[in-house]
Amino acid sequence: MTRTPQLPMTQKTIALFPEASYGAALNCVGIAQELRRQGARPVFICHPGFTGVFSEYGFQEHQLHATEGATASGTPDWTDFVRRHSDAFRASALDQIESYVAPTWDAIVDTAMRIEEPLRQLLARLKPDVIVVDNVITFPAVVNAAVPWVRVVSCAETEIPDAQIPPYLSGCPSLDRACWERFSERYKRVIGPIHERFAAFLKSCGLGPYPSGEFMERSPWLNLMLAPAILRYPRKNGLNPKTFVYLDGCVRTEAPCQLPHFASHADKALIYTSFGSLGAVDTELFERIIRVYAELPYRFLINVGHWRDHYAATPDNVFLDSWFPQPSVVRQAQLFVHHGGNNSFCEALYYGVPSLVMPYCWDGHDNAQRAVETGVGLHLPRYNWSDAELKAAIVALLGDHKMQARLQRNAVHMQAAQGTVLAAQSILKLATP
């Protein structure tokens, strides 16, 4: 019997479009790595400020260029933006609504409007089978592209609202309804004019308005949630499992990190500190933290971003660098001090490492509160702490063996869930008619 040879399946092009932040970008890298392993062709749409981030992992990049009258990238210089608004980070999440959240939403809406036409043209040239967006705002060009699109929620789970979940960006405790109401009322009042401006833009693109305070719709095809089970809130209105998939973390593959030699405390616990690419601008805070670390009998790795040359001599138990392969470092650490970015938080949980969260903005406030509520870490204010309080928090977390055992059990569950594999499989189902 003669067998008809099977032709190879046409390679599917998956366009990934993360926002201009390293958290979203590197989360998408993890998904793209698995898409490539499963035979797809992942490509990245990126802002010029992120040129090289994705090609470093072997992916093709397609740059967005602004329309006339926009900045070179069509997006703000976020490092400069953070520097100009740094005073806001000393305020509470409630008071940041005016000083940081509103200006940020304004800038994000500007970005969506400025790149709408270039994005539409680029998608028409790429002709992707599926578009994956990791962002906090809708791009009409994606919704109108006539192909399935995926929303990735790599911020805290609070980004998808529910009557039983604290307001997004509020940092409110789960049971403090008065806090919820104060934040929601003020947030909607301050954000209202920005939301109306965005609604007018959506209308001009043939889309309807969103509920008050919301800037992105749920994908009718697929929504990927990073939040692991250990952090999830009970919801009044459950998410449809046909269109919402929880990944239990989504960690990219990085080359192993060879730890540096420390001149002192070489056999002691390793503590990794990173406040993200934008948080590194606060060199004064890092200097203060380093002085405390010098008095503790542990080893410290600190990600100081582009400001490595700012620091002269460092203590023998502290090593600074502009970048670390974070998943590899966290895997080897006994404690992760971070800003509450969702990627950092999920990576700590993925490897069973307790978190000391020192948030400064956005969903870091939500994750800091959730770390305490779920018993996976501690929350320390970013600025309002004493040397003794920082030391005590570190010692407490390193000595909490019950928490560590629970985190290790959770890590086994998260790693077995294979979030990147589940994400890739779910995306590729959309690409197959």
One domain for residues 163 and 311: no
- Tell me if residue 35 falls in helix, strand or coil: helix
Sheet architecture: strand order including 244-246: 60-63, 41-46, 13-18, 130-134, 149-153, 222-225, 244-246
Rounded Cα distance between 179 and 263, Å, is 48
Same-domain status, 293 and 234: no
- Residues 318 and 247 grouped into a single domain: no
Sheet containing 299-303: order of strands: 318-321, 299-303, 270-274, 335-338, 355-357, 377-379
Residue 326's CATH number: 3.40.50.2000
Q: pLDDT tens per residue, the chain (433 residues)? A: 334 333 345 789 999 999 888 888 889 999 999 999 999 999 999 987 788 889 999 999 999 875 544 444 455 676 777 778 778 889 999 999 999 999 999 999 999 999 999 999 999 999 999 999 999 999 999 999 999 999 999 889 999 999 999 999 999 999 999 999 999 999 999 999 999 999 999 999 999 999 999 999 999 999 999 999 999 999 999 999 999 999 988 888 888 888 999 988 889 999 999 998 778 888 999 999 999 999 999 999 999 988 888 998 899 999 999 989 999 999 999 999 999 998 899 999 999 999 999 999 999 999 999 999 999 999 999 999 999 999 999 999 999 999 999 999 999 999 999 999 999 999 999 997 6
- 174 and 63 in one domain? yes
Containing structural domain, residue 207: 13-251+417-431
Do 165 and 311 share a domain, yes or no?
A: no
Coil, strand or helix: which one is 140? helix
Tell me, yes or no, whether 103 and 186 share the same domain.
yes
